[in-house]
Chain A
Amino acid sequence: MSLVVDNLRVYYRTLRGDVRALDGATFTVADGEIMGVAGESGCGKTTLGKSLIRLDGRMRVAEGSVTLDGVELPIADDRAMDAYRFRSVSIVPQYAMSALNPIRRIGRMISELLSSRGVSYEETLPELRRRLALVGLSDDVLERYPIELSGGMKQRVVMVLSTLMNPSLLVADELTSALDVSTQKAVAEMLVEFRDRGFVKSTIVITHDLSILYQVADTILVMYAGKLVEKGSAAEITEDPRHPYTKLLIASLPEVGVRFEERRLTGIAGRPPSLLRPPTGCRFRARCPLATEECAVEPPFVELAAGRHAACWKVAA
């Protein structure tokens, strides 16, 4: 098992108390697996991604453990995580391509980043060049400033940089959201290629776009209001969703070919609950058409079949 997450609870400290952004995540990601994490705003997916690498000082790990390749990651300790960041665990955060320092040439930025990690730029340069060529970027990208590159090019640079040390785990947060459809495809396919070439072992792709996950992910984990609600292979989740939330979510996505006059899609009424004082029981209860008395008790995230999990009383085991 490459990555094992056990009952991870990560809260944000605020003036008014703890926001329970991630409340009990347990799952595994195997070597060579690309797992997609899907959900809407406030579901906790970004928190999950950031907590695996401890990127946000406001986070407080309340409980749980993360084990990578048999070694437990010190996710509660900023300093200790330093040794793992970029080498074992790497993240491409949201807005990464907009965060490139505009007054640094790409090559200079990379060399500064590498030296801050104790890696020699000169030694890594041949491999860096090879990978840039692999994703269709020429060497002179290193001489350019970020403003001279298109969104897709920047995203590719960021991806090459994040995987330069062949990390065991790559977390990609909303990698494709700000891109044009054609670039989205190229970047998503690049994720798969990196996995195929062994540049990364396991990948976690965080996005709100289920259809991208269907294209590139092996498994999909669906989250809602800080909890895991369903997990399975990409095909299973999209073709045979079991959890009511997943079902409703998929039913609300317009596909090319579906027209309003022919088949009117419906959304999910209501809003996700506040995570400051979350409701007891199933968090989807207020919006779920199948909710009954038993949903006042929180359903556990149980295994229905091999690799297939759901957290709902209504789902037959």
Chain B
Amino acid sequence: MDLQKVMNDYGEYCIRVAYLYVKDWAAAEEIVQDVFLAYYNNHSRFEGKSTLKTYLVKITVHKSHDYLRSWRAKKRRLLQPFQMTTTAPSIERQAVLAHEKSELIEALLELAMHYREVLILYYYEELKIRDIAALLECSENTVKTRLKRGREQLKEKLETSEWEVLLHE
């Protein structure tokens, strides 16, 4: 098994998925390390029933859940408001950041975890509802309900024009 090739093919994708879960690039890096090490140690258990990409995404989702449940993540969340940045970005940089930051991502990251993850899995991973239900170990109806509620909450957060664009996908 060529771990390097697997990482070259799917590393970037997995780290982005992890980020959408944990909203922190440093944590996403840790998660993606765990994902590839878990895959490396147990690759014989990959039966080839799904694509390797889906398999890795599944591990990423589980690892992200583990991270979010961990004491480390809770501590980080708790201390975040008290952490002071020593160098504030310049006005120009702030303007660039504001422009770069998509409204959709902003709104998505603000959603509660169980709504956010079904939206990520459905729209970004392009998984079927049946597969999401299997991955999250819940019923298809639960996934559908979460998707519906997630979309509703997202709609409230987004401007009408942007929402209409998304509806046309």
A, B from the same assembly: no
Using CB atoms and an 8 Å cutoff, list the residues of chain A in contact with chain B.
none
Using CB atoms and an 8 Å cutoff, list the residues of chain B in contact with chain A.
none
